[in-house]
Amino acid sequence: MARGSSWSDPRVSLPRVNLLPKEIKERRLLQRQRGGIAVAFVVLIALLGIWYLRESQALTDARQEADRERAVADGLRGRKAALQPYAALESQIAAAEQLRAKVYAREVRFSGIMQDISAIIPSDVWLTQMSLAVKKNDAAAAGTVAPATSGAAGTTLISGSPGAGSPVASITFTGSGLEHVDVGGFMRALAAGPRKRGSTVYLNPYFTASQKSGEEGGETTVTFSATVDLSKSAFSGRFQPAGQQGPVAP
C-alpha cells in the first residue's frame, strides 16, 4: 500500500518522454516562425495602408487649397485689371501736380504785394505807378545766396544796394509825398516790412529820385521814384510739396 500511494503523490514529478520525431518538431517551429512573419507582414501592410490613406488625404487637401489659392489669385488679377485705368489716372494726376508745382514754383502774387504796401505806406505818401518784374533765373532759386552780388559790369554790389542779396524780383514805384522825409519814412517801412516763413520779404529799399514838384491843394508836394527787391520768401508757395520753401528745380 505504501508503494502504491507514492505513485499517486502529486509532488512526485514523472519523467517526460517526447516520442515525436525531430523532423516534426522542427517543422512545427518553422510553422510558428512563418506564422509570426506573416502576422508581422500583415501588420506592416496595415500600417502602410494607414500611412497611404493619410498621405492621400493630405495630398487631396493640398490640391484643394491650391485650387482655392488659384481662384483667389485669378480674382485679384481680375480686380487689378479692372483697377488699372484708375492707376493710370493716378499717375496722370501725379504728373499734373508736379507740372503745376513747377509752374507755380516762382509765382509772386501781386495782390499780396499790394496788400503789404497798402498796410505799411505812410498816410502822407501815395503811389501813382507801380510795376513788378520777376527774374527768370537767380541764385536764390538754386539754393545759393551770396552776401555780395556782382553787377553787370563786374562790380560787387554792396549790401543794401539794389540787386544785392540775390533777389528774385524787384518793384519800381513812382509816387508823391508831402516832404522828402515822408519818402524816407516809406523806405524805412519797406525795410521793416512783413516777414514770411521767418525771412524778410522786401530787400534793399532805395529811392532814386525825390524832388519838389509844386503845390497840390495849397501844399508843396514831392515826387519820387524808388525800387525795392523781393527775396525768395515772396514766392506764394502755392501747390508746392509740404515743407518746400523755395522753388522747385527747373
Cell numbers for 197? 516763413
In the chain the first and final C-alpha atoms are separated, in Å, by 140
Cell numbers for 56? 492621400
Say whether pLDDT at 245 is over 60.
no
Answer positive or negative: Cα dihedral of 199, 109, 230, 239.
positive
Task: Give residue-wise pLDDT tens across range 94-140.
Answer: 999 999 999 898 899 989 999 999 999 999 999 999 999 988 764 44
Please answer whether residues 146 and 163 qualify as being in contact, where contact means their C-beta atoms are separated by less than 8 angstroms.
no
Task: Give residue-wise pLDDT tens across range 230-241.
Answer: 999 999 888 888
Task: Give residue-wise pLDDT tens across range 16-57.
Answer: 656 667 777 777 778 888 888 888 889 999 999 999 999 999
Cell numbers for 235? 514766392
Identify any residues that bridge with 199 across adjacent strands, giving them in sequence order: 196
Answer positive or negative: Cα dihedral of 142, 144, 149, 150.
negative
In whole angstroms, give the CA distance from residue 199 to residue 86: 42
Nearby residues of 126 by Cβ (< 8 Å), 6 or more positions away: 175, 176, 177
Say whether pLDDT at 157 is over 80.
no
**DSSP secondary structure letters along 174-207:** EEEESSHHHHHHHHHHHHT--EETTEESEEEEEE
